[in-house]
Structure 1
Amino acid sequence: MAGLDHYKMAMDPALVKLGNMTTNRYKYFRWTKRTAGVTLIYAVIVPGIIGTLAYWNDGLWDFRAKRKGDIIRER
């Protein structure tokens, strides 16, 4: 046991390739119809839907200080 280098590990080629790909992704990115659509969905549409639902339900539900038999809905 003494004198062995236990801290050295063999690098997995697939993990090295994945690391290099994620590090250099910005160099090879191109705007295509698909990437523009995905960006639009995740940057505009999904937050818009969540914001609209939050606006409609703002103040509608009150979960604090309710007792048995009280209704949850305020309006």
Structure 2
Amino acid sequence: MAGDLEHYKLAQDPAFVRLSNMTSNRYKYFRWTPRTARITLTYMVVVPAIVGYVAYKSDGKYNFRAKRKGDDMREF
């Protein structure tokens, strides 16, 4: 009625297929090096520690509820 079903076939891009295969099999080729260990340590220890420190220091300092125009956000 509306045409042949062959019209909807898609040709796959070889670069996209290689990228897809690489990302799904990345764990097979991972190797611990000093660089990957440093990056892992940074994202698993240093970044959460910095975020936690900032959250601890600013806990209760700001109140965003029921403020009107011109009111101060800081509590102390």
TM-score category of the 2 structures, normalised to the smaller one: 0.7 to 0.9
Q: Which consecutive unaligned segments of at least 5 residues does structure 1 have?
A: none
Distance 2:70 2:13 in 1: 61
Matches within 5 A, 1:1-75: 2-75=3-76
More displaced 10-residue stretch of structure 1: 4-13 or 24-33: 4-13
TM-score, with length taken from structure 1: 0.87
User: Runs of at least 4 residues of structure 1 off by over 4 A?
Assistant: none
RMSD: 1.5
| Worse-matched range after superposition: 39-48 or 3-12 | 3-12
| Counterpart AA for 2:19 | L
The Cα shift of 1:68 comes to: 4.1
What SS does the aligned partner of 2:7 have?
A: coil
Give the percent of matched residue pairs that are identical in Structure 1 and Structure 2: 63
Q: What is the CA-CA distance between 1:67 and the residue it aligns to?
A: 3.2
SS of the aligned residue for 1:51 comes to: helix
Q: Which moved more, 1:59-68 or 1:22-31?
A: 59-68
Measured in 1, the distance between the counterparts of 2:67 and 2:4 equals: 67
The offset of 1:72, in angstroms, is: 1.9
SS of the equivalent of 1:65 reads coil
Aligned residue pairs total 75
